[in-house]
Amino acid sequence: MKIQRLLGITMVLLSQRRVNAQTLADKFEVSLRTIYRDLEAINAAGIPIVSYTGNDGGYEILEQFRIDRQIVTFDDLQSILTALKGVQSSLADQELDGLLTKIKALVSRSEQKQMEETGETLIFDTNLWHGGGLKDKSILASIRHASKNRSVVSFQYTNTEGIGEHREVEPIGLAWKGYAWYLYAYCRRREDYRTFRVSRMSGLRIHLERFNHRGVRMEELDARWGNQETGPAVHLLLHFRPQLRVRVEEAFGLDNVEVEQDGSLLVRVSYPDNHWLYGMILGYGPDVRVLEPAFVAEKIKSQGEQIANRYKQESE
């Protein structure tokens, strides 16, 4: 424990210009006397610590000293820090806090100054624009802890149809896909591996029961599910109004978009025939028309009529 604390203090001093003893004592939850002894031990080990008195007093490591980064460049460290900050923004994991401190300690004082002057050139944030709730962060932290300890977890899960059911699973890990967090786990109810969208989970419970690893890694499951469709493929021909050009090109890619003489757009894509497909098309409202296939056009028309009838009934 002492060695870990000494390393932690060293990393903090390397990553910050000057830190007072009380701040270190609070951070590592020890007495001031212990911090003073630790600082003496670090200095005796060959890491030069300088003390300053006064209102701006504290401790810092000699300007010329830094850990040898070997082949890791300044740009490499910036990329690592950006990725870690982005993940940490939604996980709020203490281990990642420590890792961020260690990585920052590898950045020299002059490079730190450069980063402060230029600011960020890339931001990676897994939170939504309206912000990530504390509830989601708490669930993610609990799931990650359970995955590491191989603890069985249970929760109430609601699918896309609004049907909820109790699930008991053996968690493997978390994955960020598109714009949401997913749990990869072995579901005891289905007796197979499944993904669970974290935002649809409630009543999470961590059990004392431990499970034996079944020998399947997250990478294998990700590759397996990445090559599977969730329904038969449907080849679509969609017609969009001109004002949706930017949105359509972003959603479907330039290679799949053909611009007509009047500015309207033709899109040729293939998707699985499932609930998501019809929700996606309806999301464009009256600005899209399904040209092919006919059965998809009919289903969109039918769902549109059902929506209109519901509003009509409620207004009567």
Query: Is residue 68 in a domain?
Result: no
Residues 276 and 214 in one domain: no
Residues 148 and 175 in one domain: yes
CATH, residue 15: 1.10.10.10
CA dist 219 and 227 (Å) reads 13
> Both tokens of residue 209?
């029961």
Query: Is residue 238 in a domain?
Result: yes
pTM value > 0.75 = no
Q: Where a domain ends, among 183, 211, 226? A: 226
Strand, helix or coil at 168? strand
Query: Is residue 165 in a domain?
Result: yes
Residues 157 and 78 in one domain: no
Residues 237 and 222 in one domain: no
Query: Is residue 66 in a domain?
Result: no
Residues 213 and 198 in one domain: yes
Q: Where a domain ends, among 157, 192, 226? A: 226
CA dist 267 and 287 (Å) reads 13
Query: Is residue 21 in a domain?
Result: yes
- Before 48, cis peptide (omega within 30)? no
221: how many CB neighbours lie within 10 A of its CB?
19
Residues 238 and 220 in one domain: no
Query: Could you list the residue range(s) of the whole structural domain that residue 284 is in?
Result: 233-315
CATH, residue 280: 3.30.70
Helix 21-28 / helix 2-15 crossing angle, nearest 10 deg: 130
- Total domains in the chain come to 4
Query: Is residue 277 in a domain?
Result: yes
Report which residue type is found at 242.
Answer: P
Helix H or strand E encompassing 113: helix 109-118
Residues 248 and 299 in one domain: yes
Query: Is residue 126 in a domain?
Result: no
Residues 55 and 80 in one domain: no
pLDDT tens track of the chain, all 316 residues? 577 788 788 878 877 778 999 999 988 888 888 999 889 888 887 888 888 888 888 998 887 665 554 445 666 666 667 666 666 666 666 666 666 776 777 666 666 676 666 665 555 666 655 555 545 677 888 898 899 899 999 999 987 677 889 999 999 998 887 667 889 999 999 999 999 988 889 999 999 999 998 988 888 888 777 655 455 778 999 999 999 999 898 888 888 999 999 999 999 998 888 777 888 999 999 999 999 999 999 999 999 899 888 888 776 6
Query: Is residue 123 in a domain?
Result: no
